[in-house]
């Protein structure tokens, strides 16, 4: 049972990294949103989004993560970023 | 534009951390699955799952991440772990 317990501790550590990295990512996208609003830039940038998708795909392949799963997670993050931007701009 | 570019670089770095952390997490859960199978333990453990959900919730609050969003991401990961276990055991 101690092998299982050690693996679970490791998974818990990885979950903590995931949660803190996601929190930090939303802080950075909030800054991007604020900067774009201040500079009068459009909230969406199709070229950036397409480059990001290609990058996630390539990162996933390198890391040995199912690219389809990586796209699913990334999609959920992007939806949340859009939702946060809507909340900030009051455009709900 | 250089502020925006710096923020995007930072977001790209965070995405790389997320992808590699997720890949490592699936490697560890594959080891858990193999260990449970070898020891004849049941694949699911309701107490562990409930403790994990509570931990994610608490981590999210500490990190300033929307707990609902954290649960969504965690749910997607857990579904994928189950899917991987089904593939490994051939029980599709």
Contact criterion met (CB below 8 Å) for A17 and B17:
yes
Residue B7 has its nearest CB partner, among A31, A55, A66, at A31
- For residue A92, name the pLDDT band (cuts at 50, 70, 90): very low
- Count structural domains, chain B: 1
Q: What angle do CA A20, A1, A10 make, to 5 degrees?
A: 15
Q: What is the mean pLDDT of the segment spanning A15-25? A: 98
Q: Is the pLDDT of residue A9 over 80?
A: yes
* Single pTM value for the model: 0.93
A41 compared with A87, residue with greater pLDDT: A41
Residues written for chain A: 92
Q: Mind listing the pLDDT tens digit for each residue in B43-52? A: 888 999 999 9
C-beta contacts of A11-18 below 8 A and 24+ residues apart: A11/B25, A11/B28, A11/B29, A11/B32, A12/B52, A12/B55, A14/B21, A14/B24, A14/B25, A14/B28, A15/B25, A15/B52, A15/B55, A15/B56, A15/B59, A15/B74, A16/B59, A17/B17, A17/B21, A18/B18, A18/B21, A18/B22, A18/B25, A18/B73
Among A1-5, A38-42, A79-83, B50-54, which range has the highest average pLDDT? B50-54
Residues near A41 by Cβ (< 8 Å), separated by ≥ 6? A35, B4
Q: Is the pLDDT of residue B84 over 60?
A: yes
Residues from chain A that touch B76, judged by Cβ atoms under 8 A, are 69, 72-73, 76
- For residue A30, name the pLDDT band (cuts at 50, 70, 90): very high
CATH value at residue B58: 1.20.59.10
ipTM of the complex: 0.93
- Location of structure tokens 């790389």: B16
Q: Mind listing the pLDDT tens digit for each residue in B1-44? A: 579 999 999 999 999 999 999 999 999 999 999 999 999 998 88
- The domain in which residue B39 lies consists of 2-89
Residue B35 has its nearest CB partner, among A3, A12, A21, at A3
Which positions 4-63 of B are in contact with A (Cβ < 8 Å)? 4, 7-8, 10-12, 14-29, 31-32, 35-36, 39, 41, 48, 52, 55-56, 59-60, 63
């Amino acid at each position: 049972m101690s092998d299982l317990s050690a693996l679970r501790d490791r998974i818990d550590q990885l979950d903590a990294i995931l949660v803190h990295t996601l929190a930090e990512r939303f802080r950075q996208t909030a800054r991007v949103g604020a900067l774009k609003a201040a500079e009068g830039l459009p909230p969406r940038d199709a070229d950036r989004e397409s480059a990001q998708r290609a990058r996630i795909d390539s990162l996933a392949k390198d890391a040995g993560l199912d690219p389809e799963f990586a796209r699913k997670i990334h999609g959920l993050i992007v939806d949340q970023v859009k939702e946060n931007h809507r909340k900030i701009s009051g455009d709900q």
